[in-house]
């Protein structure tokens, strides 16, 4: 571990725009240490867990639900999706490996003002910089704060898989998913992509008749190995689909070249589609594959790590997201003495405290002791013929990729 190790959990990102890593960003606890590039094994370890789930809080929570225009809701989800990439615009960090059963709880209390009347906001001059105040939500009630909660649990160690839920009851928004990645390293090429258990993040708008958006994760390419300064580039395609509205978006990333002068590295289209005909095909589409029978209602493009603009048909181009405008939203977590033994900060505090003191050899020994204890527990379960049972989530999450909280889940918020 390098002495410049950062052991302070990163705050989630929210923004007058949005979103993260991104996140506006609600992010899982990120227990990080600077990556040391000193051999293939270290390189492989470095890329594991680099792409983490990121969801946001603040303005995007309001923007997603406020419009009666289904296209604007899709555009708002798209802004949130980009905002969760915020984390990848900075330095790459290597987090601790979560232990089986590890869990993390936090919430964000976001300033908000609700006004009466049904929302008729169908256009925004600046989607990503809109204020969270003065949002119409169909109620006379004034809401001082929006409370956004985050719950996650490591439900498998081999492969490493965690289930997570974000929810904002005031806005009737829930986002759930499975965090599982796969990494590939050959020579100077490294990529991190969603694993087989990860089907995307499912954002449900309960106030819109349970309108659900399936948002898949991008693939990250880790560059900068020779220089020792790692950077994440987004490559390949991602997509967002909403079967209820019949709208979808394909996001296509352009691989950046060292000596190129590309003005943008991402482009995409929002279009109408027939779920019964194309529902299972969109996952493989590039922009050129979108059939002419699918009406394109908006296009977008720019630089995912800077600014992205959007343009609806026959309308002026406008800002979708400005990553530089995002602000940090502090998350609230119970103090250590009130946390359970398997809560993240409680698990890793012995290691983090040694690192903060500069006692890195001791930190390494403590970390190994935690990992060895996990091996002992796993061996015991195997000997007794016992399977690990999650404490927070129902175990049947694999097929859908949409984990459900148990009714009696011991949530320590």
Taking the C-alpha atoms of residue 76 and residue 208, their distance in angstroms, rounded to an integer, is 14
- Structure confidence at residue 261 (pLDDT): 57
- Structure confidence at residue 257 (pLDDT): 66
Per-residue pLDDT of the chain (413 residues; tens, 9 = 90+): 333 333 333 333 333 333 333 333 333 333 333 333 334 334 333 333 333 333 333 445 556 778 899 999 999 999 988 888 876 666 666 667 789 999 999 998 877 644 333 333 334 444 443 322 222 233 334 457 788 899 999 999 888 899 999 998 888 999 999 999 888 886 776 888 888 899 999 999 999 999 999 999 988 887 777 777 777 788 889 999 999 999 999 999 987 665 555 566 899 999 999 999 998 899 999 999 999 999 999 999 998 888 999 999 999 999 999 888 877 678 899 999 999 999 999 999 999 999 999 999 999 999 999 999 999 999 999 999 999 999 999 988 888 899 999 999 999 98
- Structure confidence at residue 325 (pLDDT): 83
Taking the C-alpha atoms of residue 165 and residue 404, their distance in angstroms, rounded to an integer, is 8
- What one-character DSSP code corresponds to residue 205? E
Taking the C-alpha atoms of residue 259 and residue 227, their distance in angstroms, rounded to an integer, is 15
The helix or strand, by DSSP H or E, that contains position 349, with its residue range, turns out to be: helix 344-356
Here the tokens at position 262 are 């590309």
- Structure confidence at residue 270 (pLDDT): 97
- Structure confidence at residue 274 (pLDDT): 94
Q: Strands, DSSP E only, in 274-352?
A: 296-302, 307-312, 318-322, 326-329
Which position has the token pair 């560059």? 223
- Structure confidence at residue 190 (pLDDT): 81
Here the tokens at position 240 are 């967002």
| Contact status, residue 179 vs residue 192, Cβ threshold 8 Å | no
Taking the C-alpha atoms of residue 18 and residue 368, their distance in angstroms, rounded to an integer, is 39
Instruction: Label residue 324 exposed, middle or buried (CB < 10 Å: 0-12, 13-18, 19+).
Output: exposed
Peptide bond connecting 17 to the previous residue in cis, omega within 30 degrees of 0? no
Taking the C-alpha atoms of residue 306 and residue 263, their distance in angstroms, rounded to an integer, is 11
């Amino acid at each position: 571990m390098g002495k410049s190790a950062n052991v302070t959990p990163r705050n989630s990102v929210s923004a007058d725009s949005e979103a993260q890593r991104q996140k506006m960003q609600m992010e899982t606890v990120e227990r990080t240490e600077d990556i040391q590039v000193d051999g293939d094994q270290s390189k492989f370890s470095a890329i594991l867990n680099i792409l983490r789930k990121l969801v946001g809080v603040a303005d995007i929570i309001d923007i997603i639900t406020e419009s009666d225009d289904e296209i604007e809701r899709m555009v708002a989800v798209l802004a949130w999706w980009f905002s969760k990439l915020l984390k990848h615009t900075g330095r790459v960090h290597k987090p601790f490996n979560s232990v089986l059963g590890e869990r993390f709880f936090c919430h964000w209390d976001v300033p908000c003002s609700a006004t009466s009347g049904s929302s008729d906001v169908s256009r925004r001059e600046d989607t990503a910089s809109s204020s969270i105040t003065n949002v119409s939500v169909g109620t006379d009630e004034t809401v001082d704060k929006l409370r956004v909660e985050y719950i996650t649990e490591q439900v498998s160690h081999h492969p490493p898989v965690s289930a997570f839920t974000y929810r904002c009851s005031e806005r009737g928004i829930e986002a759930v998913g499975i965090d599982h990645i796969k990494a590939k390293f050959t020579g100077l090429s490294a990529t991190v992509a969603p694993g087989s258990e990860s089907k995307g993040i499912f954002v449900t708008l309960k106030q819109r008749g349970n309108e659900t958006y399936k948002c898949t994760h991008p693939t990250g390419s880790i560059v900068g190995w020779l220089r020792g300064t790692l950077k994440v580039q987004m490559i390949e395609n991602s997509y967002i689909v909403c079967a209820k509205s019949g709208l979808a978006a394909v996001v296509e990333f352009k691989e950046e070249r060292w000596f190129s002068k590309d003005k943008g590295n991402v482009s995409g289209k929002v279009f109408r589609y027939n779920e019964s005909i194309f529902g299972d095909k969109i996952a493989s589409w590039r922009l050129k594959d979108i059939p002419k029978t699918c009406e394109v209602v908006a296009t977008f493009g720019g630089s995912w790590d800077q600014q992205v603009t959007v343009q609806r048909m026959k309308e002026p181009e406008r800002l979708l997201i400005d990553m530089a405008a995002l602000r940090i939203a502090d998350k609230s977590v119970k103090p250590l003495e009130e946390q359970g033994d398997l809560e993240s900060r409680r698990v890793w505090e012995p290691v983090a405290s040694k690192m903060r003191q500069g006692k890195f050899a001791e930190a390494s020994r403590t970390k190994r002791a935690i990992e060895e204890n996990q091996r002992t527990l796993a061996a015991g379960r195997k000997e007794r013929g016992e399977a690990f049972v999650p404490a927070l989530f129902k175990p049947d999450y694999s097929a859908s990729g949409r984990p459900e909280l148990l009714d009696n889940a011991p949530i320590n918020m």
